[in-house]
Structure 1
Amino acid sequence: MIRCDPKKPVWVHLDKLNPINGAPRFAFPEGIDLQSRVPGELHYWQMTTTGHWAGYVSYRISQEGDGGLRMSHLVIETALEPREDAPARRGDPVWEAASLRR
């Protein structure tokens, strides 16, 4: 495990976590949005049994009319990217160790 101290700002690509096969069934604006990119905080990296990295991340899923749902769980590396609006984090060795700089 590689801890992030302090926590690292990341983008979580919900569409990569929740792929939709085919076209949407119908529009439901009051539902939760699982196809967006949301800001999150990376707490630590954990290696999987298949050699991929997963990050333990906290983020909020938006929902029309309320504050949304707060989530914290492991997310596969391909659904995460460093937040470019946090320039102090660029070149961070934790990202380098996880081979996520694209």
Structure 2
Amino acid sequence: MDLTKVYPDSATDVSHPDGVDLRATVPGLLKMWDRTTTGTRLAWVAFTIGSAATRSRVGQWVLADAIRPREGEAGKRDHEEFPAMPVLWKT
């Protein structure tokens, strides 16, 4: 999952190497699909986020463009209502 699409970060000149990297792509597990009231596709994803010192497993709705198929899984269907949508990496 592309964290830049989940947590837009306004970068500054200050660097915190031990902080949470919101520019990373992290593995996750796609749990379900839904749509917003305007038709935008959403994915409920479980993933781990954190820094060098802390890690936390979270689950949340993300826009569908924040996820991509795990390598070798591009043709699999996770939900019949969205047959063209990808599945995520499994952790």
TM, length-normalised to structure 1 = 0.70
2:65 maps to 1:82: no
Residue equivalent to 2:41: 53
Cα 1:92/1:69, change in 2 over 3 Å: same
1:43 pairs with one of 14, 25, 31: 31
1:15 and 2:4 aligned: yes
Q: By percentage of residues, which structure has more strand?
A: 1
- Identity value in percent: 32
Structure 1 stretches lacking a partner, 5+ long: 1-11
Q: TM-score normalized by structure 2?
A: 0.78
Whether the 8 Å CA contact 2:48–2:56 is kept in 1: the answer is yes
Backbone CA RMSD of aligned residues: 2.1
Provide the rounded CA distance (Å) in 2 between the counterparts of 1:90 and 1:78: 14
Q: Which residue of 1 aligns with 2:17?
A: 29
Where structure 2 has 5 or more consecutive residues not aligned to the other structure, the ranges are 87-91
1:53–1:77: 8 Å Cα contact kept in structure 2?
A: yes
Classify the secondary structure of the residue corresponding to 2:51.
coil
Runs of 4 or more above 6 Å deviation? none
**Structure 2: how far apart are the matches of 1:31 and 1:14?**
14
Q: 1:13 touches 1:35 (CA, 8 Å); kept in 2?
A: yes
C-alpha displacement at 1:57, in angstroms? Answer: 0.4
| Match for residue 72 of structure 1 among 42, 53, 59 | 59
Answering whether residue 78 of structure 2 is matched by residue 94 of structure 1, we say yes
